[in-house]
């Protein structure tokens, strides 16, 4: 239990540090290949900027585990560690 708590605190610290940074964390830039940055773009792929951090993390974890069906996100999500997912989610959550 203490390990889980320590990991959660570590992830939160990483996420907060990345969110405060103007530079996207490693891996985040690749998301813009499919996810639109502009609100004026009509796309079946959701815009990530401004989404809830926890929702992004949950979606990535579900893609990675196979709990959420996908065409390519399941394979993409498997390439990220938990810490990378937390950092990317935190960064996108504070983007406008």
pLDDT in tens, 44-75: 999 999 999 999 999 999 999 999 999 999 99
Q: What is the pLDDT confidence band of residue 22, given thresholds at 50, 70 and 90?
A: confident
**pLDDT at site 5:** 57
More reliable by pLDDT, 90 or 8: 90
The residues near 5 (Cβ < 8 Å, ≥ 6 apart) are none
Long-range contacts of 18-26 (CB under 8 A, 24+ apart): 18/87, 18/88, 18/90, 18/91, 19/90, 19/91, 19/93, 19/94, 21/91, 24/88, 24/91, 25/84, 25/87, 25/88, 25/91, 26/84, 26/87
Q: Report the C-alpha gap between 49 and 68 in whole angstroms.
A: 21
Mean pLDDT of the region 19-29: 83
Least trusted range by pLDDT, from 6-15, 32-41, 45-54, 55-64: 6-15
CATH code reported for the domain at 2-93: 1.10.760.10
Nearest CA-CA partner of 15 in 95, 84, 96: 84
Q: Residue 32 is encoded by which pair of tokens?
A: 């813009």
Q: What is the pLDDT confidence band of residue 14, given thresholds at 50, 70 and 90?
A: low
């Amino acid at each position: 239990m203490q390990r889980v708590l320590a990991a959660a605190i570590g992830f939160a610290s990483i996420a907060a540090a990345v969110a405060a940074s103007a530079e996207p964390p490693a891996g985040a830039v690749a998301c813009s290949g499919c996810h639109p940055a502009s609100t004026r773009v009509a796309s079946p792929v959701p815009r990530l900027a401004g989404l809830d951090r926890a929702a992004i993390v949950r979606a990535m974890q579900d893609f990675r585990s196979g709990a959420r069906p996908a065409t390519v996100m399941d394979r993409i999500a498997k390439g990220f560690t938990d810490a990378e997912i937390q950092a990317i989610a935190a960064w996108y959550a504070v983007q406008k």
